[in-house]
Amino acid sequence: MATSAKKNAKAKQETTSTSNIKKLIGLIDQLEEHIIKRHKFPYGLPSAYAEHYKAYLPEQMEPISEEMTDNDRKWFYEQLDQGLLKESPEQKALRQQAWRLPPPLLRGKSEIYIYIPEEDRLARHYGEIATEIRKFKNLVSTKTRIFKKTAQQAEKHFEEAFRLYSKHYDCSFYIYTLPEDIYKQIRQSQLARNSHKKSQRVKKTYLSLVQRFITSNQKTYSSMDTVLGAIEQQAISKIPEYLTQEYNAEIEHCLRKKEEAEYFLFAARNDLSTAEVKEIEEYGKKTVIIQAQNRDQPLTSFAGRPIERYKEIRVFYQKKISALETQKSKIRTDDQRMKLLNSAKSWLKESEPSLYDALNIFIEKKGRKL
């Protein structure tokens, strides 16, 4: 009787596991199709451009198929194997820098660093995501029965694929173009990461200070502790200043994106050939107003995107502006920053080992390495 109960329990567990794996396979298939489509059509689906450009296209022109085929998948993974979907270590290191010196031709002799908005520091390559998808599919696609260990390995690759994609540029600016099931899964990863975002901002700002310290400091230091102490003194005073600059730059970036969406909505409703620009001054503040005649038939898409997409973009950036304003008003106190900076050495060793090594080389050049 007991043996029978154990068998039933085991069978039920296996059925549940199989059912869960089937669900994961469905989500991975959707994610795979979506990123192949994004890679194939990086500027949006051809159908979104059709209305905007139909007046300039031949009447007999065959529509471009947007359906993903086995040949598309084969082409995509061939590109992966050839390294064409991969981001080089140098590209990644540059992309992740929140503060950068402008290119030499633009900066001249200036040593003023500029802040790069978070959205522009997100990954745009698909190599790592595609690798995790393929590993997942290799584990589950050829199996008639999936054992517990295999299922656990597959789940790890599933979670890693979605974790990586949740940090991709697609999941910021193009978040509303995601299939609904993918969107729900991505939001879970993003919300979990957002809970640590404030600490991450301080961490990234500290690491930027370390980078600048190495390139601009002319003093001699005898040990790592001495160098970290000097950097910490800078960090305590500079982090609030840099964080405020970062928040202001992020807010300004979001305002531009929101205004851009509003312009496209205006252009879809109105005939731009009749546009008039007026400047109104009220309470000492000048405001520019654009007026134009309504179109006989408002466009359903503009510049390659459906009009609904611009409405979503406007709402997305408005919410982001509100969230950033709230975060800016809660910049950490000196005591809170000191507690965070106690982990500074481990941040360097674990998160940026190459930067830690560069700091050691800096000490060796300036004094002696400990």
What is the mean pLDDT of the segment spanning 37-61? 70
pLDDT band at 341 (very low <50, low <70, confident <90, very high): low
pTM score of the predicted model: 0.67
With beta carbons less than 8 A apart as the criterion, state whether 44 and 305 touch: yes
Give the residue among 37, 127, 27 at the shortest CA–CA distance from 77. 127
Are 171 and 199 in contact by the 8 Å Cβ rule? The answer is no
Is the model's pLDDT at 205 over the cut of 50?
yes
Backbone angles phi, psi at 317, to 5 degrees: -75, -30
Share of the chain above pLDDT 70, in %: 80
Instruction: Give 352 or 171, the one with higher predicted confidence.
Output: 171
Furthest-apart CA pair in the chain: how many Å? 88
CA distances to 82, 93, 124, 207, 261 from 88, rounded to whole Å, are: 13, 9, 12, 21, 33
For the chain, the domains span: 2-57+68-87+123-195, 199-351+354-366
- Amino acid (one-letter) located at 8: N
